[in-house]
Amino acid sequence: MTTGKPMEVGKPTGAGKGKATGKPTEVGKPAKVSKAKGPGKAETTTGTAAQIGKPAKAPKPPAGVKPEKPAVAAGKPVKPQHFKLAKEPNMAKAPAVKFQQGRHIEGSEHWQGQQYAAFRNYHSEWHDQGWWHNHYRNNITFVFGAPYYFNAGYWFPAWGYYPNAYYAWDGPIYAYHHLPPDQVIANVQATLQQQGYYHGDVDGLVGPLTRAALADYQRDHGLYETAAIDRPTLESLGMS
């Protein structure tokens, strides 16, 4: 909220003026002080006067009107790191998700802007290995034995490439600095950890703790609560 103008301190009252009237001072102007009455004593103005040296408070917005969210400034630049991650995922901390044909990301229809298009347009697909090779060829990488394909700046799970592949997350993962998905996730976890949002292990898995930390950070910084690794969140973290 914006505040009023600070009080002007130190202006003398006009010479020869009498006692102050009982009218309150206007907001944003200093209260007038009258002449001293007797040694060490001064008369005070009546009514409710603004406190000298403190800015006046701006009025509260009407009931039901939410204040505008502040613009999100990019954080200090964060250099990408390479983390030594376990070869096998800890499924106790990041349980496998099940495939749901044509699943859309809940709430994504409300996320406006081109930077969220990958989430609005996403729907899970199941294809065999040959189909994935024909469509994405060299744009496939493997994380914890599971294949991910690259498209429009994001990594996505290639469902069906290996029918029993393990995925902790079904949705886009922003391809920060062209790193593979597990290294992107690990860098995000480490950055959120430094800022006090994430309290789990840096394991390269988008598990429940990571999603909760992402949602908390996004809520605190005026972003859509995707609970996912999206570009606006990484830019806000300084990871761009």
CATH for 136: 1.10.101.10
The verdict on residue 159 lying in a domain is yes
Reported as type and span, the H/E element at residue 140 is strand 140-143
CA distances for 153 relative to 17, 105, 147, 177, angstroms: 73, 18, 16, 10
The verdict on residue 90 lying in a domain is no
Tokens describing residue 170 = 């079904």
The verdict on residue 27 lying in a domain is no
The verdict on residue 101 lying in a domain is no
The verdict on residue 93 lying in a domain is no
The verdict on residue 130 lying in a domain is yes
User: Longest Cα pair distance anywhere in the chain, in angstroms?
Assistant: 99
Paired strand residues for 140: 149
The verdict on residue 137 lying in a domain is yes
Reported as type and span, the H/E element at residue 119 is helix 117-121
How many other CB atoms are found less than 10 A from the CB of residue 143?
Answer: 24
The verdict on residue 192 lying in a domain is yes
Which residue range is the domain that position 155 belongs to?
108-236
How many domains, in total, are found in the chain?
1
CB 209 within 8 A of CB 200: yes
Low-confidence ranges of the chain (pLDDT < 50): 1-62, 64-73
Query: How many residues in total does the chain contain?
Result: 240
